[in-house]
């Protein structure tokens, strides 16, 4: 495969994440709660990814108990991200919830600086400023958006950004020697455990609810738990984290476009400008690392 094939694979992984908020909103409109939607998505998604593991070579590769526990614990913030994000979607538009989630870009940089003492480069700081300016526009705050902004939805959205930042930092540093599909299954299992504790799967004991919920659960589980990690594990090693971060940001425009087309949410011109600014900020922050890697490869 050529390099652009791997880039397209990562881009599609980001798009997969982007459609989730729209279908969560549709599930809410059908009368399902955040507990039912979040719990069933992770449950069905984890079951699907373990089915893939069963048909994967080296699926029984030995790993130590400590590595196993590290991966399960590393999956906890992934489960919390889904809970917080879907709680945010209860009270804010899908096009706005994704803006809050995307604050993980600068929150992760701050966490990395405070905990791991990795001071961000000047380009990264500039990209954060651009991203924050874009977020203000995209959230509609310059057009009196504070009045219609849900405080609870905002808080849940920012919490999802914090836990997603932690998940990215932790999962990228733990057990990279474990086969990607097996690692994804263990991370998903860790996420499932925390979701089941917070939202016990009571829907399993109501066959009619489970049957009605199944189409949403399977779709959200496939596009939220199974497909993106698999696509990222295939493409990321070949294109690197710099370009990978830029391409996976396809989640943002896809979420906004889907919310506008499918849900009929009104997205203003200024909000579109904010989305573009956020994407520019992400590209600006990751371009130097990408260019250095390409120079080393060519040199």
- When pLDDT is averaged across residues 56-82 and rounded to a whole number, the result is 84
The string of pLDDT tens digits covering residues 125-145 is: 888 888 888 888 887 776 655
pLDDT for the residue 284: 80
pLDDT at 2: 76
Q: What is the mean pLDDT of residues 267-276?
A: 87
Confidence check: pLDDT of 62 > 80: no
Q: What percent of the chain has pLDDT over 90?
A: 33
State both tokens at 274: 């904010």
* Weakest-pLDDT range from 78-92, 113-127, 259-273: 113-127
**What number of other Cβ atoms are within 10 A of residue 243's Cβ?**
24
Q: Which residue has the higher pLDDT, 55 or 259?
A: 259
pLDDT value at position 41? 93
Q: Which residue has the higher pLDDT, 16 or 169?
A: 16
d(CA 258, CA 153): 20
By C-alpha distance, which of 150, 135, 60 is closest to 102?
135
pLDDT, residue 29, reads 94
Joined together, the tokens standing for residue 233 give 């594990």
Q: What is the pLDDT of residue 291?
A: 64
User: What does the pLDDT read at residue 294?
Assistant: 62
Question: Could you give the CA distance from residue 159 to residue 219 in angstroms, rounded to a whole number?
Answer: 24
User: Using CA atoms, how far apart are residues 163 and 222, in angstroms rounded to an integer?
Assistant: 21
Inform me whether the pLDDT recorded for 38 exceeds 60: yes
3-state SS string for the chain: CCHHHHHHHHHHHHHHHHCHHHHHHHHHHCCCCHHHHHHHHHHHHHHHHHHHHHCCCCCCCCCCHHHHHHHHHHCHHHHHHHHHHHHHCCCCCHHHHHHHHCCHHHHHHHHHHHHHCCCCCHHHHHHHHHHHHHHHHHCCHHHCCCCCCCHHHHHHHHHHHHHHHHHHHHHCCCCCCCCHHHHHHHHHHHHHHHHHHHCCCHHHHCHHHHHHHHHHHHHHHHHHHHHHHHHHHHHHHHHHHHHHHHHHCCHHHHHHHHHHHCCCCCCCHHHHHHHHHHHHHHHHHHHHHHHHHHHHHHC
Beta carbons within 8 Å of 36's beta carbon, 6+ residues apart = 27, 199, 203, 209, 213
Higher-pLDDT residue of 231 and 47 is 47
pLDDT at 120: 79
| Mean pLDDT over each residue of the chain, to the nearest integer | 84
pLDDT digits (tens, 9 = 90+) for 189-232: 999 999 999 999 888 888 888 899 999 999 999 998 888 878 87
Q: What's residue 113's pLDDT?
A: 84
Place of tokens 């809410």: 28
Whole-number pLDDT of residue 223? 92
pLDDT at 146: 55
Average pLDDT, stretch 87-95?
Answer: 90
> Could you tell me what percent of the chain has a pLDDT over 70?
89
- 288 burial type by CB count under 10 A (0-12 exposed, 13-18 middle, 19+ buried): middle
pLDDT, greater one: 149 or 292: 149
**Neighbouring C-beta atoms of residue 237, cutoff 10 Å:** 12
Q: What is the mean pLDDT of residues 174-178?
A: 79
Average pLDDT over residues 74-93: 92
Q: Is pLDDT at 299 greater than 60 in this prediction?
A: no
Instruction: Give the pLDDT confidence score for residue 76 in this predicted structure.
Output: 94
Tell me the average pLDDT across 285-298: 64
pTM of the model: 0.85
The Cα–Cα gap between 119 and 124 comes to 10
């Amino acid at each position: 495969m050529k390099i652009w094939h791997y880039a397209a694979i990562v881009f599609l992984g980001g798009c997969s994440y982007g459609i989730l908020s729209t279908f969560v909103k549709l599930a809410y409109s059908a009368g399902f709660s955040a507990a039912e939607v979040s719990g069933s998505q992770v449950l069905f998604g984890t079951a699907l990814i373990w089915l893939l593991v069963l048909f994967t070579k080296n699926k029984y590769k030995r790993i130590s108990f400590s590595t196993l526990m590290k991966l399960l614990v590393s999956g906890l913030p992934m489960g919390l991200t889904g809970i917080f994000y879907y709680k945010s979607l209860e009270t804010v538009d899908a096009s706005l919830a994704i803006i809050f989630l995307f604050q993980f870009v600068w929150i992760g940089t701050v966490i990395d600086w405070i905990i791991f003492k990795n001071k961000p480069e000047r380009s990264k700081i500039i990209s954060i400023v651009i991203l924050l300016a874009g977020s203000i526009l995209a959230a509609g705050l310059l057009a009196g958006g504070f009045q219609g902004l849900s405080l609870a939805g905002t808080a849940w959205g920012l919490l999802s950004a914090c836990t997603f930042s932690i998940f990215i930092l932790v999962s990228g540093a733990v057990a990279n020697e474990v086969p990607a599909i097996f690692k994804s299954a263990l991370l998903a299992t860790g996420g499932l455990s925390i979701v089941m504790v917070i939202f016990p799967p009571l829907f399993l004991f109501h066959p009619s609810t489970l049957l009605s919920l199944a189409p949403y659960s399977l779709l959200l589980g496939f596009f939220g738990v199974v497909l993106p990690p698999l696509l990222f594990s295939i493409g990321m090693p070949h294109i690197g984290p710099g370009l990978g971060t830029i391409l996976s940001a396809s989640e943002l425009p896809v979420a906004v476009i889907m919310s506008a087309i499918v849900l009929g949410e009104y997205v203003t011109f200024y909000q579109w400008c904010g989305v573009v600014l956020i994407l520019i900020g992400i590209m600006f922050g990751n371009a130097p690392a990408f260019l250095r890697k390409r120079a080393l490869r060519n040199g």
